[in-house]
Chains A and B, each alone.
Chain A
Amino acid sequence: MRARNTAGETLVELCIAIVIMGAVVAAYFGAWTTAGTASKSARDLVTADAILRTYAESTKSAVRDGCATSSASTPSSTFTVTYPDTLPTAFAISSSPSLTNQGCPGVTAVLPVTLTVTLPSGHTKSLDIAVRTP
Chain B
Amino acid sequence: MSASRTRDERGASLILAVAFMVIVGAISASLFSMITSSVNDRTILDGVRNREYAADAGVEFAIAQVRSLPAPGDTPCGGPYLRSAVDGVAIRVECSNDFAVTRSGFQQFNVVFTACAQSGNTACGDATTPVIVRAEINYQRAATQPATRTYVQSWSVNG
Chain A interface (Cβ < 8 Å from any Cβ of B): 3, 5-10, 13-14, 16-17, 20-21, 24-25, 27-28, 31-32, 34-35, 38-39, 41-42, 45-46, 49, 52-53, 56, 68-73, 105, 107-110, 112, 125, 127-132, 134
Decide if A73 touches B49 in the complex (CB within 8 Å).
no
Decide yes or no: A25 and B24 within 8 Å by CB, A13-B12, A112-B57 being known contacts: yes
List residues of chain A with CB within 8 A of the CB of B18.
20
Q: Is B20 an interface residue (CB 8 A)?
A: yes
Chain B, 1-19, CB within 8 A of any chain A CB: 1-2, 5, 9-14, 16-18
Q: Which of B12, B42, B60 contacts A46 (CB 8 A)?
A: B42
Q: Is B35 an interface residue (CB 8 A)?
A: yes
Q: Which of A7, A39, A110 contacts B61 (CB 8 A)?
A: A110
Chain B interface (Cβ < 8 Å from any Cβ of A): 1-2, 5, 9-14, 16-18, 20-21, 24-25, 27-28, 31-32, 34-35, 38-39, 42, 45-46, 49-50, 53-54, 56-57, 60-61, 63-65, 67-68, 86-87, 146-152
Decide if A9 touches B49 in the complex (CB within 8 Å).
no
List residues of chain B with CB within 8 A of the CB of A53.
49
List residues of chain A with CB within 8 A of the CB of B12.
13
Decide if B9 touches A41 in the complex (CB within 8 Å).
no
18 more A-B contacts (CB under 8 A) besides A6-B10, A134-B150? A7-B1, A13-B10, A13-B13, A17-B17, A20-B18, A28-B24, A28-B27, A35-B35, A42-B42, A45-B46, A52-B49, A53-B49, A70-B149, A73-B146, A73-B148, A128-B53, A132-B63, A134-B151
- Min Cβ gap A32→B in Å is 7
Decide yes or no: A38 and B35 within 8 Å by CB, A130-B60, A134-B149 being known contacts: yes
Decide if A127 touches B50 in the complex (CB within 8 Å).
yes
Q: Which residue on chain B has the smallest CB distance to residue A18?
A: B17
Q: What CA separation (Å) do A127 and B49 show in the bound complex?
A: 9
Q: What CA separation (Å) do A53 and B21 show in the bound complex?
A: 45
Decide if A24 touches B24 in the complex (CB within 8 Å).
yes
Q: What CA separation (Å) do A54 and B12 show in the bound complex?
A: 60
- Min Cβ gap A16→B in Å is 6
Decide if A110 touches B27 in the complex (CB within 8 Å).
no
Q: Which of A7, A17, A49 contacts B16 (CB 8 A)?
A: A17
Decide if A45 touches B149 in the complex (CB within 8 Å).
no
Decide if A49 touches B17 in the complex (CB within 8 Å).
no
- Min Cβ gap A21→B in Å is 5
Decide if B46 touches A49 in the complex (CB within 8 Å).
yes
Q: Which of A7, A8, A49, A132 contacts B45 (CB 8 A)?
A: A49
Q: Which of A9, A70, A71, A110 contacts B60 (CB 8 A)?
A: A110
